[in-house]
Structure 1
Amino acid sequence: MSTVAGCGLFDDDSKPAPQPDALQPLLDEALRLAASYDRTIVAEPALRDRLSPLADDHRAHAAELAAVIGVTAPSAAPSAAAGDTPTLASLRKSEQAAQKTAAAACRTAPSDRAALTGSIAAARAAHAEALR
């Protein structure tokens, strides 16, 4: 009688799936925010000069977060092409919620990530004020 060996099918050495990086939600949120700004700019071209720098900030944050996590940031959020056009008020609410997420991440981040998450939280707070 022979046994099946080497295939791993019956091995009990299963490793749990790796947990997502704690910064992944900030990355996803940055991409969603940039996409929201982009949709608003397309719908309201007169707001381009006001909103483009904010969208660019979110793309820069996404790139930095992706580098820290060790992933490649997508060029746009999956839902970037779809969805309602956000108003300035809804963008502001999104920024306020996102600032809370970033501040919470900063409080729990290891020291090598605290500066990045803190600067993202500060930028999101500034964006909310810029949308008043």
Structure 2
Amino acid sequence: MAHKKEAAWRLKRVELQLESEKASKRREKMEEIEAKVRALREEQRLAMERIDAEYREQIAGLRRDADAKEQKLVEQWAAKHVRLSKFLEQVGSSGGGAAAARGRRPAGRNRVWSTPNLCRSSDSTLNL
């Protein structure tokens, strides 16, 4: 009977040891998987930061381009305005200003009114 009790005790001890080893292996595997998940999350975070940085860089580039184009248009409009103002001053200060206001040709000239080429750019937005 003592032999049976000892065998049962040893069997129970081996079972407990196996259960402990099983739990330890499970814990190790879970820690390994959790470490992999943390590494993947860190990799994902870094990838998202890179994407965000690229996006911000592209947006900044687009804004710079838009600002440069807007400035160019402002300069073009200002130049056209100056040319138009000068032209209007020339027309207004020419000798036939009063005759032109009455809808007739200036006296002494037998040619058709002509306007100078005010816009030499190939810009198709507005050619004055």
Fold conserved between structures, TM > 0.5: no
Q: Which has the higher contact order (CA 8 A, sep 6+)?
A: 1
TM-score (structure 1 length as normaliser): 0.28
Find the structure with the greater CA-based Rg: 2
TM-score, with length taken from structure 2: 0.28
